[in-house]
Structure 1
């Protein structure tokens, strides 16, 4: 390194307007706030909303509704760029170097201690900083004995801080966006439009070449410490001066160490503000001091050596260290006096960038470096915002077209931002608000960092705008950004949208437009239905050949789905709207969905039963005041048609007990304390219960018990009956009454003969199935006496009947009780046809019975009285006589013998 004498000045030229001339008040107290040093990097999460299509029910026609594409509401227009994100670490940013405060900053109440590189720095303490009036001086550390090399302080050689001075900007060259109309927004802001092209050969010559006025300061004294100290307590102290050049200082205060680069003038005062510095001087302090001691003379820096512009933090811009918030602004409590490095600084009219060495680099130089390494974008990231700068650092404002690698994009830089020229990148920007020329333009929010701030022009789109201005509505805007009002337009996504007078799209709405009705779904798109029925807001409409447009119909209409399956009937009035929730005078009801009620239907809190319609015909009248069987269940309708729901209800002189609209059946139920039975139709009965007519099974409900009479005898209406363990009426209790004489009664019309204990007929003991004479040879009515006659009774024909008992006095004396007559007097020539007639008129006047019953009469009724009457015709066999009519024992085997014959 080239040695210089102490007398050689650093060539420091201090700016007249900014060299540390601040008054004493400047260093008195900190400001209330501090500029943030953090650069928040990231991209906004895209928000998108997709509405799934409405799926038609197999029984209900539902409107379709596919997902909406809100192109800009989520913050970005999806798919507009496939460029790789730029490297944010190479962008010019005021917050890039965390060891330095922001270029435009305020003094804060508390700022964390900065962790700076203190290698090769001179270590001092707070007390080494001396205040003189409005200025600060720094006392040089006392050098130890040269013989003590083990504890020697680091060399005072001043070196460039080991930080990169190269700053790289974001490049969006790889992003190609269709900007066929990209200059369109300039129609609104033509006066503010500027077009910059990296390939413009005159572009680099546009830099401002006017140099700042420079004051050449040289040190005429060979003694660099002549003005180092005015402290009367220590007149021997040595202070840093301009001769020492830039000095890297680490100051210890309150157990914290803060490092920075400082510059002092020829009087030893710490410099603040802008200054011209010769970087070749003062870079090796130790060597300079040695030369000063040995040579003893001074020299002046060569006039040809270049100076560079640097800036040193003023008290107004200084950042107060953590723990020093309420103390005066000093070099050991704040960043005051430190050289600005790796930072942008706002001068009030222009931006300046100071690189890693603290040297001011022009916009022209920065852009040239960007173009060289392929990162040119036309703008700079400064304090987390973006600015496009002229050659002199002045921000551009208004519409600016930037061309990178032949691709042009339009941007808007705000004129009224806090610092003019801030890039607008918050999405929608409006001009002419609430006027006929209201216009909305979209600028990328930077989901892809390379696209931030780009103006996007598309075709007609449906999108949300700034909700703070336009609310949470979706609007239809033209390709030029104007609101489309009171119209139906096709958007670039191929869908049709309808808008109101404010430009807001219709959703879930039937809209009348130019004499036709159109339906728009929940995402605002016009329905795509064609040639089909569809349900809209509980109304059915037929959509014809034009998608989404109603083809008007009237009167009765058969409703079908897209597979032509029958869904029901509807009725459309003269306006084309179907009836809903409506009764008609003839007993029809149209449900909330418009369909004609059919079958079981709830209306309000009541249930009704309607005639069931078919695809061939509409029925649907309500049932009233009747009992209906519907889907294997019984229902009882009132006079109004409303179904009875529960409890006891009377119908046709009978009582029914209902639960959940249906009568209970085949079970016991007490009514007014009387035990009864609800039969198979639900009717309440007491007394006798027919279980099986074919089997002559009857039960009797015990009115004082909880069911049927079982294993007992019971007097019922003056007649004694016996019941078995299952509660069935016993039809033969003759064994209980083995001794006659008995009293027998024949009912010709019912085909039965009942045996009583006596003529009072209070105790029936046996019922016998008989056949009497046909009408042409009837059995004579009247009361007679029975006499046992013959085991095989000779009859007409001749023919024979077993166990003949003569009915004395009946007819001409030829009337007998006997079995079915046979052609021969043996048991195996029974005519099956005649046997199967038992129970109905079939004889020539005799009383036929099966062999077993004829035998019982033959042996037990000799001398008993018999009364032959017509009787009252009864439909059910079980109700014929007190013990009913027993079923015929079926033939078996060869069917040529009586199955009841005990001899067979």
Structure 2
């Protein structure tokens, strides 16, 4: 019976223990059950930097207050508490079980742009955490930083591009500052002053010359400025950009102007500097690497093309390839030698020389596409005979220029192996050998020698040949004596040419052309009048037959004063009277001096330019004065400009305006003539022995 009772007791006690456990469990889970009743929400007013929060589910009978706690995670994921704010619930601030509150960035103990966690610890010990975070972070994904402009440009546009017009930085108490600094972090310079944080895209136009003093890589940097930030600022964004000096082609070229001025042009194109170009200098090196010339570059206005015209004299007229080095100085005072260099080709082009043998005992020489820097003054063909390995000069021919080709005809003088050398002459009278060509001349091809009767313009004349060349001055061949009465002077008025003839005893006629002179006759070439109409105001050379001193009196003057229509007096050398007021004479001068010649009058030789007299060079006038005796026949014909005479029309000399003498005048020192010829002021001259140079 006891055992049974005992067993009965145990059965009754078990339910009681179970009930106690249930009660304890209920009391143990009641705080969590309460926490599940709270709900918290936050809303960030980023524009004003204020975080509003709401806590609902509050029973003031059981909970008298709470502590609001604001935290964030630092870079090491440590929790940093920046605000703990106790709150006491009252009927006023907690209605219908809901409490609303706020805090601002300025309330936080540490001012930082972060996402903040907002939590609450209730007075009954219940923790509550808002599901969302209060976003006071910088929205770096909502904006970009752009630097517009090429690396060589001085002015750049730096933009903070707000892609969605977002509040990229919370609060109204911060500003942003733009600055420029080197990539190494040094020499940071502020651009203007700090400004309010834009809610839309904002741009700054920046003159980099104010902030950069060298080339290289820089940063454009935006910094948030706020005294409450650690250190007072925080990097918002930065963008890398470059400053550079850029340029294009470096080279050289020749123009008609540079050729005329005996220069060559060096240039550099598209020079741009982010620090502004102050000047450009060209350094010229020869093939041995020696600096031979330094010249400043020039440009037009704001052009990026710089050039310098280098005088050939500066490089001592030495032809070849030259290296062009360019240095650029900018407004910051930086001198930079450009990495690239150019080449100036100051070289002679030897051209193409051809020899064409013609059927009439002559060869035609052609030199095509030859070139000398500074222009070719003249070309001569030197003809040599080669025998037993020895070369002998037999002829020099002046090349006639036509269509980029110099041409000369050589009448064979000797047979055998023959060589022609084409030579060019610079404006400073240096001889340059272009090309050499050899050809063979048969004995049957050699030209004429001695006296020959030949026709010219339908009439037979007696010419004298030497090695195939017709001589145009037979003074020495005929061994003429001064004061010769057996001379006939014929003036071809249309051709402005005088031919002097000697008497041929075999043909009994004046048919030996002794000499030809190029002259100026009267301006009025239309008049066919004779001597009867001559007066001080007439300007024609009278047609007809006359003689030296037609009036029968001796009329030769080594220096003759002549009255001009305007009443002035000029002086004519070596004057030989023809008829009336018409004389053969050297071009008149303004005073009794060999150095009073007007270049404009001299350069008119070969054209109708006088008042009626027959103007000549000093050499020709003196020859006529010396050799044509008084009474020598003079015939003035209307003539034909295309048929000047059997000896042709002699070449003339041209002189510069600065020259005041006749280059054929024997009274002018040969040294003076030679100097002016080398300088290009006269195209030719006559030596004291009567040798022609240059014409």
- Of Structure 1 and Structure 2, which has the larger fraction of its residues in strand? 2
Structure with higher RCO (Cα < 8 A, 6+ apart): 1
- Of Structure 1 and Structure 2, which has the larger fraction of its residues in helix? 2
TM-score normalised by structure 2 residue count: 0.29
